């Protein structure tokens, strides 16, 4: 299954996701900045491919920066790749004022397109989506597994400092800014609290439980879901 090709065709032809739904499992990962979402996503896919003989566990893909790259390459969202990766979300009030001045509802157009692609990918299945409101865009789809990652502030700052190659203070500012941005986006578009555990199947503290162990647990959840689907056939 070539998820990137499906997305490219979708963006090119402006087709809907109807007819593409497979009922296959998918995973969304919501996370506090620096809690390890990208690392977890890739470890889950590796575990599924190595330890399961089911066809449904093979050819999974991870979409985080890749989703941004596909949108930027398509060229109709008028937002640089770097800005999309940074998740620089403005509040609705601030964006509204900016739109009045520029006559361009750029942010709304960007997030509308992101949510369309997220919906497409979750309908197709066999994908791990990091961020981008995945748990909320796909909350009505029955085969999603929604995960939330948290960790202590000191641990996350250390991780962010290493990732961004900046000082601890700069890392702290970046971490808090990302967390605020993600929370505002979910609140504005879905009227929900991103930190509320009710939205997720499981919330993991990656300071207490190492990411490899979390990956094993989530991969096991996927395997159980695949077995259940096979049992219905």
Q: Which tens digits make up the pLDDT trace of 47-101?
A: 988 877 777 778 898 888 777 676 666 655 555 444 444 444 444 444 444 444 4
Residue numbers of the domain that contains 206: 24-65+125-226
- Asked, for residue 185, whether it belongs to a domain, the answer is yes
- Asked, for residue 49, whether it belongs to a domain, the answer is yes
- Asked, for residue 216, whether it belongs to a domain, the answer is yes
pLDDT tens-digit readout, 15-33: 655 566 677 899 999 999 9
pTM of the model: 0.82
Q: What are phi and psi of 5, to 5 degrees?
A: -65, -40
Residue 131's CATH number? 3.40.50.300
- Asked, for residue 110, whether it belongs to a domain, the answer is no
- Asked, for residue 170, whether it belongs to a domain, the answer is yes
Residues 6+ apart with CB under 8 A from 192: 136, 186, 199
């Amino acid at each position: 299954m070539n998820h990137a090709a499906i997305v490219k065709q979708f963006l090119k032809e402006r087709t809907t996701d109807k007819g593409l739904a497979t009922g296959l499992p998918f995973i969304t990962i919501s996370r506090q900045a620096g809690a390890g979402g990208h690392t977890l996503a890739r470890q889950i896919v590796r575990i599924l491919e190595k330890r399961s003989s089911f066809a449904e566990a093979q050819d999974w893909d991870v979409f985080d920066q890749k989703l941004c790259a596909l949108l930027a390459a398509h060229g109709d969202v008028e937002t640089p790749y770097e800005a999309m990766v940074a998740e620089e979300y403005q509040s609705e009030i601030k964006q509204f004022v900016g739109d009045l001045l520029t006559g361009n509802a750029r942010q709304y157009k960007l997030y509308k397109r992101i949510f369309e692609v997220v919906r497409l990918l979750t309908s197709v299945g066999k994908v791990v989506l990091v961020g981008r409101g995945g748990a909320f865009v796909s909350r009505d789809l029955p085969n999603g597994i929604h995960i939330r990652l948290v960790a202590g502030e000191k641990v996350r700052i250390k991780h962010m400092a290493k990732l961004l190659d900046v000082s601890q203070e700069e890392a702290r500012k970046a971490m808090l800014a990302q967390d605020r941005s993600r929370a505002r986006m979910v609140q504005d578009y879905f009227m929900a609290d991103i930190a509320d555990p009710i939205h997720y199947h499981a919330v993991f503290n990656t300071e207490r439980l190492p990411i490899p162990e979390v990956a094993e647990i989530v991969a096991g959840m996927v395997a159980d879901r695949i077995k259940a689907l096979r049992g219905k056939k």
